[in-house]
Structure 1
């Protein structure tokens, strides 16, 4: 049997700002410049029912929000996680979060996740931001395979994955405990670095 061939310059994630024109993606930290401050933005996100169910953030108070931001800052510092605050370019308003993390850097395997505040939903923000971070991970860190796992009941996340060129690969039964305390089955989606770019998004 031939040995498995390895490629691989799978690099640490290095801090970067991604400018999408009307959207700006910046590394999260306590100092991330958004109206009202990063801590208040995280506390507001944690209180949203949809985020609390599908992407629970343990940040009901300042201490919890600071701990959340410090984890993202540590991920940037050691190159294991690239967490971006998604903001509106015009006013700097916080819209959401996209985070890419290494699952197995030696193998080029990463996972991406996202959440949006209510006012940003239905505008294609998650799709555009996730596409941008996916491409950034491939070109700057050498991600070989990037996965998305979301609860089967989270249909909005499923649509984002599909629009970002992540085909569904199967169902993971009772795989993750979500914000309601229950284990949910998840859809597993994945995109390979060798996959074609997804179709262009319609102009809004």
Structure 2
């Protein structure tokens, strides 16, 4: 069903789907690229890491299911509902994941999510990938506001968000279910025109 709007959409329909999902180059030899079939074993093993499991309740159970997720990721791009990237080095080694979800072209908003493998933590991988995806989404695609949220107990994710210029806007009380119960969630956002410190 087509909605009747009193304002024009911030982003035109077709802005993503008319082109292949891009490979984005980030500082320090990082690349953000679409997921490939050969990434399935590493993707599955990531969800066996205690920290990733702690903050992500939706997890693949087999490589077959991972491939189904990858298929869904490609459909998200074609439907303009999301974009999902592997965070890699020039060598092709997968270091993490970053995604743009909940795309709203009418209002020009979207949500960001990410995780990083243990060996890549503390090296600026997450914040570098987040800064790169943010710049692309705001300045090349035309989003006006990007949001991310994380458990108030996830201090590492909070540091990543702040380093990438996502201001802490508040706390959503009892907003998400984790394995150990409901968590309050910090809400961060970047708005077009914000200038992050230190980037």
- Please classify the TM superposition score into its range, dividing by the shorter chain length: 0.7 to 0.9
TM-score normalised by length of structure 2: 0.87
Q: CA RMSD in A?
A: 2.0
Post-superposition CA distance 1:154-176 (Å, at most 9, x none):
00000011011111111001111
Post-superposition CA distance 1:90-140 (Å, at most 9, x none):
x21110011012342211111001100000100000000000000100122
The unaligned stretches of length 5 or more in structure 2 are: 1-5
Report deviation, 1:10.
Answer: 4.8
Aligned partner of residue 115 in structure 1, secondary structure: strand
Runs of 4+ in 1 over 6 A off after TM superposition: none
Report deviation, 1:5.
Answer: 6.0
Corresponding residue for 1:187? 186
CA contact (8 A) 1:46 1:56 kept: no
The unaligned stretches of length 5 or more in structure 1 are: 31-36
Inter-partner Cα distance in structure 2 for 1:8 and 1:62:
38
Aligned partner of residue 47 in structure 2, secondary structure: helix
TM-score normalised by length of structure 1: 0.85
Corresponding residue for 1:106? 106
- Report the count of equivalent residues: 190
Post-superposition CA distance 1:50-102 (Å, at most 9, x none):
1111134421212221222222111122222111100111x211100110123
